Amino acid sequence: MTVGVLALQGGFAEHVHALNKLGVSSIEIRRPKDLKSPMDALILPGGESTVMGRLLRELDLYRPLLDLIRQGMPVWGTCAGMILLANEVEGEKDTHFAVMPISVRRNAFGRQLGSFSCSGLFTGIGDLPMTFIRAPIIQKVNKNVQILATHDNFRVAARYDTMLVTAFHPELTNDTRVLQYFLGMANAL
């Protein structure tokens, strides 16, 4: 299995490190030519979703990645990646890929100083560490979206079809179970 990791900005290196730890090959996606390498799944990391969205378009990656996702490429969006996938961002008229039927709210736990770590239950995994950095939350969901985790009654992880989103950053911990969950999703297709 080979996983593409969007490497324009943000926490892509941590995802690549976690994949390496599990012995999974990865491709860092920076240019359209990087998409010529075969891949089985895609990770959209945390970072600045507005910057990533702009870079996706400027570097001509937006349309090819959107096409891959629409064709069923398994994709996992962490934090900013969740915002990129959401079909609605509260208080904003512009969206990015808009392929996952969820509405998200940016910085739901506050700004950078509001970042924190805790533990929480994740459906199918159990209790795991969760690191939130200016994290969004899921406000609304389509009836076919499965909520996988909550924190203080806020929805912080979900699955829809071949898409997984987490408001928290599993790649910043030593726990690889969410990554293994995602890889299991991709292998099941």
Rounded-to-integer distance, Cα 34 and Cα 20, Å: 18
Alpha carbon 173 to chain centroid, angstroms: 15
Q: Tell me which of 14, 96, 151, 171 is the catalytic residue.
A: 171
> What is the H or E stretch that residue 117 is in?
strand 116-122
Task: Give the CA distances from residue 168 to residues 11, 54, 56, 93, 117, in Å, rounded to whole numbers and listed in that order.
Answer: 12, 23, 22, 24, 9
> Residue 139 corresponds to which tokens in the numbers above?
């406000």
Catalytic (active site) residue 48: no
Q: Tell me which of 14, 15, 79, 96 is the catalytic residue.
A: 79
Rounded-to-integer distance, Cα 117 and Cα 121, Å: 13
Rounded-to-integer distance, Cα 28 and Cα 97, Å: 19
C-alpha closest to that of 26 among 81, 168, 18, 79: 18
Q: CB atoms < 10 A from the CB of 126, how many?
A: 10
Rounded-to-integer distance, Cα 129 and Cα 174, Å: 9
Catalytic (active site) residue 171: yes
Catalytic machinery residues: 79, 169, 171
